[in-house]
Structure 1
Amino acid sequence: MKFNLNSNFLFMIGGCVFTFVIAQSVFFLYRAIKQAKIMGMDRAVIKSTIISSAAFSIAPALSILLGVLSLSKFLGLPLPWIRLSILGALTYELTAAASAASSVGISVTEQITNPQAYTTIAWVMTLGIIPGVILIPLFLKKIQGGLISQKNRDRIWGEHFMTAIFLGMISAFLGMVFATVRKGIAGWIPVFVLIFSAIVMVCCGLAIKKYNVKWLEDYALPFSILGGMAFAILTTHILV
């Protein structure tokens, strides 16, 4: 049987996953509306909440869609579609796929033709996310309690601590950003993209604080991701 990244079997699995995700969303939407009515919330408030939540999900969904399209050239369409329909963690999926591909000597710019390499990458992407699935239910409440306790004792140090955690998460990706800087100007593209994304985020932050554009609080990160992707496409076209 010929290896096919976009086989009907994989699309069938993706369809099942998609159906489950939609059914789960509809179920919890129904339960939330039912609970809101029991609590006596006004119908107009419920409707407004649903509409605003749907609107605020558009930008993150667009960034995830771009991630699916980016990975589809390398892994085919079904696998990225299945994974990002469940996780939506674009930063993890791209990083895990690129790291796994590098370990088996494959470039992420070319479509996989080796089924063993495809299986290896799929397993790495799957196993890498399992610790989070296990650790969050077990320790998230305790970690959140510690963070809240720290912020209550000293608000400034609590904010510094949260910033340090965020920077620690970001630093995990810096190795990939600077990994290719010795390959000439094209190797600096990830650095340029990082800088541009940071500029977009800073502009969003200034708009929120200086001009009180509150709706940007939910859209700043997606805008930064989308801006970085668009800038990456532009610079790659120019420099490569």
Structure 2
Amino acid sequence: MKEYLKVANSPIFYIITFILFAIIIVQVFVFIRMALKRAKQLNITHSQIKSVVKTASVTTVVPSIATVIALLTLVPIMGLPFSWARLSVIGSLSYELAAANMGADAMGVALGQSGYTMQAFLNSVWTMTIGSSVMITFTLFFFKKYKQQLSKSMEKNRNSNWNKIFISAVLLGVYAKFILEPVVSGGSALAAMLTSAVFALIIEWFIKKTGFRWLQDFSLSISMICGMAAACLL
């Protein structure tokens, strides 16, 4: 084992990670409690809540597979505790590797290779952490005011077409971001996107023909798995 990995996998890092997980778990229960209270105020039925929970649970399974794969990729380089903490809270493999590489480059070494010392490891850790803290800080101190201003603007234009245009533009921007990248890059990314789209249409057609409405809860997951399989085969 490389010297820096002995520290990266040391008990103190596990303790810090478990403390972080404990905070997250507490937050989960707090938000669930708040959500149920608000649902009651809005007269949302228990069956509706149950349906939402079931759908959300199913659709989060496939994205979690990508997170596990990313974890297995990052662990040999950055150790288990830190990699686990990063990918469980805010990180993604593309960002984490890029930030870790930047930290290593600043020390004049290659990530995880010969010469990647404890100092280089800590520099990667700082780069990964500070880089992702910007939006968290923005959300913590400025998002509430931003949301209030946005709500006022939308309320002011409630009877106009502005709200519809604004929401549509935001959704189109999000879709374009994820669609145009594979279209431009091609290869396995494009194969995954097209395969997922085709299977989503097939599942939708099958539901209309058979009336199996329960299959809608699994449509996204099945399409994503088929897309991942196509990318791997390519």
Superposed pair shares fold, TM > 0.5: yes
Q: Distance in 2 between matches of 1:23 and 1:160?
A: 32
How big is the shift at 1:110?
Answer: 4.5
Deviations 1:118-152 (A, max 9, x none): 11001111121122224456477579989x94972
**Distance in 1 (alpha carbons) for counterparts of 2:85 and 2:42:** 36
The 3-state SS of whatever aligns with 2:40 is helix
- One-letter code aligned to 1:202: L
Q: Is the 1:76–1:111 contact (alpha carbons within 8 Å) kept by the matching residues of 2?
A: no
73 and 143 in structure 1: CA distance in 2 versus 1, 3 angstrom threshold? farther
Q: CA shift at 1:78, angstroms?
A: 0.8
Counterpart of 1:186? none
Letter in 1 for 2:194: V
Q: Distance in 2 between matches of 1:216 and 1:112?
A: 47
Q: What is the aligned-residue identity percentage?
A: 22
The counterpart of 1:162, out of the listed 150, 173, 187, is 173
Query: Which one has the largest radius of gyration?
Result: 2
Is the alpha carbon distance of 1:143 and 1:91 closer, same or farther for their aligned partners in structure 2, counting shifts above 3 Å? farther
Match of 1:9 in 2: 12
Count of residue pairs the alignment pairs up: 207
Cα separation, 2, equivalents of 1:56 and 1:167 = 18
Gaps of 5+ in 2: 155-160, 206-215
Aligned to 2:197: 205
CA shift for structure 1 position 38: 3.4
Deviates more, 1:84-93 or 1:73-82: 84-93
Structure 1 unmatched runs, 5+: 175-190, 236-240
Q: CA deviation at 1:41?
A: 2.2
**Residues 188-231 of structure 1 deviation map (CA, whole Å, 9 limit, x = unaligned):** xxx8xx7213211111122334652755446766875x559x84
Change (3 A) 1:58 1:125: same
Distance 2:131 2:100 in 1: 10
| Match 2:102 to one of 93, 96, 99 | 99
TM-score by length of 2: 0.68
Q: CA deviation at 1:111?
A: 8.6
Question: What is the alpha-carbon root mean square deviation over aligned residues?
Answer: 4.1
* Structure 1 residue identity aligned to 2:92: A
CA apart distance, 1:165: 6.7
